[in-house]
Amino acid sequence: MEIISGLPRHVACVMDGNGRWAAQRSLPRTAGHEAAEAAVIDAIEAARSAGIKWLSLYAFSTENWRRPAGEVDILMRLVRRTIRKHAPALHARGVRCRFLGMADPRIPPLLAQDITDLMTLTSDNRQMTLTIAFDHGGRRDIVEAARSLIRAAVPAEQVTEATFARHLPYSDTPDVDLVIRTSGEQRISNFMLWQVAYAEWVFPQVLWPDFRATHLWECLDAYRRRQRRFGDVRQPAATTGEKLR
């Protein structure tokens, strides 16, 4: 494994453009979702090979339930097929798989069981943590954290950013350093709102089904060339090293 200095610890991807990819080819939208599988696997392997320890992929939002029922049904089938197909390889590569969301009763029971089985299978892996945001909404996570604090009867004066974060789902997840949103769209889309507060954003024009390892390396290189000040005015030490492949 080649680990490059100055890389983000946590990369998140908003996988956008499946429908447009299909429309450009006069295909149904679902063809774009099918084609996205190769991009997902390529991104996971490229991130793992680079030494990225945390990768989060936005697969299905709470708002996506508004899509036509037929499209949602096919999406659920595709996710189940992808899990069953790639679970052994993910486990063999030391990838710990988590699913962020999973609260809606409309999720098919067989898919929910496959997801549970995948998380159980890979729970002890530590080479990389892959979080799939599925039936996910950033606002819902924040509301649920607030409810958790109330149920725990935490006094108001003891509620800090740190204590609040501990009540979020998967509270051990580090803040996102880099968000990649494909297709050129520039929206947050209710994605991990708490965790992306100080993330760097990159908006490659490529549609998600065409996203490959070379695109990920380009985004990582763009990240390394930025200066992250977190509100400070001081110049941090410059990142050194050659351009990524």
Is 6 annotated as ligand-binding? Answer: no
Query: Is the Cβ–Cβ distance between 191 and 168 less than 8 Å?
Result: no
Annotated active-site residue 16? The verdict is yes
- DSSP calls for 117-177: HHHHHHTT--SEEEEEEEEE-HHHHHHHHHHHHHHTT--GGG--HHHHHTTSTTTTPPPPS
Is 201 annotated as ligand-binding? Answer: no
Query: Is the Cβ–Cβ distance between 209 and 18 less than 8 Å?
Result: yes
| Rounded Cα distance, 3 and 51, in Å | 5
Annotated active-site residue 141? The verdict is no
Is 125 annotated as ligand-binding? Answer: no
Is 190 annotated as ligand-binding? Answer: no
Is 21 annotated as ligand-binding? Answer: yes
Residue tagged active-site, from 42, 64, 175, 210: 64
Is 49 annotated as ligand-binding? Answer: no
Is 94 annotated as ligand-binding? Answer: no
Is 29 annotated as ligand-binding? Answer: yes
Query: Is the Cβ–Cβ distance between 154 and 163 less than 8 Å?
Result: yes
Is 217 annotated as ligand-binding? Answer: no
Residue tagged active-site, from 16, 114, 135, 177: 16
- Distance spanning both ends of the chain, measured CA to CA: 14
Annotated binding site for Mg(2+): 16, 200
Binding residues for substrate, as ranges, are: 17-21, 29, 33, 61-63, 65, 67, 181, 187-189
| Enzyme catalytic residues | 16, 64
